[in-house]
Chains A and B, each alone.
Chain A
């Protein structure tokens, strides 16, 4: 009796072990062949992995970046649609913060707080953070938003169903629904320009060099040099979005 019992439990053990080993091998095969599970990490390390820098100490709030972005990418001119905009922060002596962005800064700024009340004031240009772990990409139900092999968050306009999940998911407010196309729209980092060897439109027109970009994998690139020489911060680091938009001199008032 004893021997029969033992052999049956051994068979059971061997069966379970074989099943587990088979499942592990199967899972690794599926993952590596990208058959059912899609890996987020790009495999091609020869391509650039873009990072962006914005130097608040250099921004004069001229709004040229926001204006050029609209012209380059045919963004609707109404003041609700921006891929790229500038905010003016004014911290008053009483501690309250005044934040304005009239027409995204395209028409320029007028300081409405009297000089005597100002504790400090500065401009914050904003745009898509091209997050490495972007919330907008994660919520897309149809695979229309994705991280390109160059680390840019892009939209497939033919696949987008206009469900607006991504607009709500973006913690930086960088997305909108295009009023004519009825699909999500956002900064493409001027993918069509970068691929042709040109700078993104906002970088092209910035008169003070407040905007920097480059390949984070290349130790000699502008962005790596900028990151070395400045104390940089990303917006909302607590959300662990893997933001690749690095601000210099970012004040804690900025949301």
Chain B
């Protein structure tokens, strides 16, 4: 078998084998330990991404303290809307308990982000208001309690 190969070919085969072996050895030491555990990636990264801090606390955490708001909301059309939809990320507020650590939005523009008239909004799912015509002098929350919008204050 050996005698069949010309010398330049056998030297080439030798050179290639050495190169491949060196490559495999180098790869063995340079690859992170968890690489290839689940697939062609570093498996440890899953744990690293998992450790990222949360900013939004999730609905359950709020009703533990604000049972009164839950009762108020449950009677009206905003019942299914989570606190953080309007009040923004609440993890900081939950760990500190400070009112300053959570948003208390107000103003026609804010309510308008959901309720302003727009032809693209699906009909019947949401009350739409023409902000240019509907009680232009007033702020929405002067008449509507955002937790119970149809129990009009005035």
- A227 within 8 A of partner (CB): no
Cα A158 to Cα B46 in complex, Å, equals 12
* B54 cross-chain contacts in A, Cβ below 8 A: 72, 192-193, 196, 198
Q: Is there an interface contact between A88 and B120, defined as CB atoms closer than 8 Å?
A: yes
What's the nearest-Cβ distance from chain A to residue B65, in Å?
Answer: 18
CB distance from A57 to the nearest CB of B (A): 5
Among the listed stretches A22-30, A104-112, A239-247, which one makes contact with chain B, having 4 or more residues with CB under 8 Å of it?
Answer: A104-112
Contact A204 B120 (CB under 8 A): no
- On whether the beta carbons of B49 and A204 are closer than 8 Å, the reply is no
- Kindly identify which residue among A68, A111, A146 contacts B39, using a CB–CB cutoff of 8 Å: A146
Interfacial chain B residues near A59, Cβ < 8 Å: 122
CA distance A142 to B60 in the complex (A): 41
How many pairs of residues, A versus B, come closer than 8 Å at their CB atoms?
Answer: 131
Known: A38-B39, A62-B113, A192-B52. A154 touches B120 (CB 8 A): no
Would you call A168 an interface residue if the criterion is a C-beta within 8 Å of the partner chain's C-beta atoms? no
Docked-complex contact B85 and A156, CB < 8 angstroms: no
Residue among A61, A71, A158, A207 making CB contact with B88, cutoff 8 Å: A71
Selecting from A2-10, A114-122, A171-179, the interface stretch reads A114-122
Which residues of chain B have C-beta atoms less than 8 A from A73's C-beta?
A: 52
Interface residues on B, range: 35 or more
A166 interface contact, C-beta 8 A = no
- Interface membership of B98, Cβ < 8 A: no
Instruction: Check A209 against B41 for contact (C-beta < 8 Å).
Output: no
Interface residues of A (CB under 8 A from B): 34, 38-40, 42, 57-64, 68, 71-73, 88-90, 107-111, 113, 115, 118, 121-123, 143-149, 154, 156-159, 188, 191-193, 195-196, 198-199, 201, 204-209
Q: Show the binding face of B for A, using Cβ within 8 Å.
A: 35-36, 38-42, 45-46, 48-56, 58-59, 80-82, 84-85, 88-89, 109, 112-114, 116, 118-122, 125-126
Q: Which 9 A-B pairs have the closest CB atoms?
A: A146-B41, A121-B120, A192-B52, A38-B40, A156-B45, A108-B113, A205-B85, A62-B114, A198-B58
A-B contact pairs, 13 of them (CB 8 A): A57-B125, A60-B121, A61-B118, A62-B113, A71-B56, A72-B89, A121-B119, A122-B122, A158-B48, A191-B50, A192-B51, A205-B85, A207-B81
